[in-house]
Amino acid sequence: MTEQLSRPTRRNPLARTRLPVPLGGPRSRAAQGLTQAAAEGVFRLQVCTVCRAATYPPRDVCPRCLSGELVFEACDPYGVLVAETRIDISGEAHFRERAPWRIGSVRMDCGPMVVAHLHGGVAQGQRVRMTLMLDKTGGAAMVALPATYGDVPPDDRVLREFTCDPKFRRVLVTDGRGSLGQAMVTALREAGAAEIFVGVADGWKPFGGEAALRAQAGVSPVVLDLTDTQSVMECASQIGGRVDIIVNTAEHVRAGGVMAAQGVSEARAALELRSLGLMRLAQGFGPIMRMRGADGVDSACALVNVLAVHALMNWPEFGVASAAEAAALSMSQCLRAEFRGGGIRVLNVFAGPQDTEWFQTVPAPKVAPMVLARAVVAALRGGGEDCFVGDVAEDYRARLAANAKALERELGA
């Protein structure tokens, strides 16, 4: 049975912080297909293109017909939990610290038998729905959920380990001036965040929504300018040990390509904020977060980077801005590797043009800031690494997979 999580009590400052412990070893190349599915929040298994048998665990040849033609495809995620056990003693330090831990065998409707971590709401003999989630090291893991599991996850210690639910956690939103940052604060309050720090650069400048932002309970504005190293480091020295999730909502959107620009000032400003700003943020807050990746219910768990989907393919109408987004994407991929040892997830959220003044002349469809903010919260609860929000972003993903060169030509037409 799932027990409701309770708000953590004030931590003893003299008590030792539990350090993250590595989990498992390297995965095979075949197994990385499951990792990709888990990162995207979808359920796929290996399927033989010859005999159509679904296979688990991933392997190089089909165990039924010995064909090497195996591809990852969406499969029926339902099955029956036929056996379960409880681990009280484990040779893995990661699970020894989390004992007792339940695992079980699930016979899936699509064929294979899989071993899975068990949600507290499932019992032997019941129908379950399988999902792929990323563990602390970024590898894919099978998790069995109740067949009637809804969109909003209830409190569960297993899901708490595999996801980055903001409930009872303290969050830093890097830019409170923009409409997305303000919407993000509202969405995080709805999700049950314990405290929300909101970065405000140039505090002497008034901005729309400032009074409403400062009036909200549990919201603490802080001085934070991602283009200023000293500002970031001072902010980290004040609240770095209390931040569990960082949501980077800073943006620099300007229309124009490369040759039309007069000089490189706009490009420098965009890179300074989007790429080097992320670097400053990671240098200031990252080492502390990485040490707190196993610190109980309110452990540090995620850095969210909100990106334009044009980071994946340049949009010449916003060519310089797209290049800065691509640099930020590359930076976050580097951080993903560096954070992995501490169990901190780097979540990239790719969004289409937002419904803001910077995209006033861009035709619909566009993404409302509140829709994007709630999608970020859903992605944190889902436990993935890559999230696409909006019709334009989903269209980009499909067209990149089908024919990236065609997309490049169409955007530049």
The continuous run of DSSP H or E covering 318 comes out as none
21 occurs within a structural domain: no
Given pLDDT bands bounded at 50, 70 and 90, which one contains residue 18? confident
**Do 87 and 183 sit in the same domain of this protein?**
no
Residue 120, in any domain of the structure: yes
Is residue 141 domain-shared with residue 229, that is, in the same domain? no
User: Which domain-ending residue is among 98, 123, 157?
Assistant: 157
Claim to verify: residue 221 and residue 361 sit in the same structural domain: yes
CA angle 318, 319, 322 (to 5 degrees): 85
Residues 275 and 319: beta-carbon distance below 8 Å: no
| pLDDT at residue 13, as a whole number | 72
Whether the predicted pLDDT of 152 surpasses 50: no
Question: Is 233 found in the same domain as 89?
Answer: no
Same-domain pairing of 396 and 363? yes
130 and 175 share one domain: no
List the alpha helices (DSSP H) in 20-86.
32-40
Helices assigned H by DSSP within 70-166 = 93-96, 157-162
- At residue 296, the pLDDT reads 79
Domain assignment present for residue 228? The answer is: yes
360 pLDDT tier (thresholds 50, 70, 90):
confident
CATH number at residue 330: 3.40.50.720
Residue 16 lies in a domain: no
Q: Are residues 59 and 174 in the same domain?
A: no
Q: Are residues 185 and 99 in the same domain?
A: no
Residue 256 is given by DSSP the state -
The model carries a pTM of: 0.92
306 and 386 in a single domain? The answer is yes
13 part of a folded domain: no
| 292 pLDDT higher than 60 | yes
Model confidence over 156-182: pLDDT tens digits? 888 888 899 999 999 999 999 989 999
Per the structure, the count of domains in the chain is 2
pLDDT at residue 358 in the model = 83
Non-local CB neighbours of 227 within 8 Å, separated by 6+ positions: 201, 272, 273, 276, 277
Look up residue 159 and give its amino acid: L
- In terms of phi and psi (left: phi > 0; alpha: psi -120 to 50; beta: otherwise), the region of 348 is beta
Determine the structural domain holding residue 82 and report its residue range.
32-157
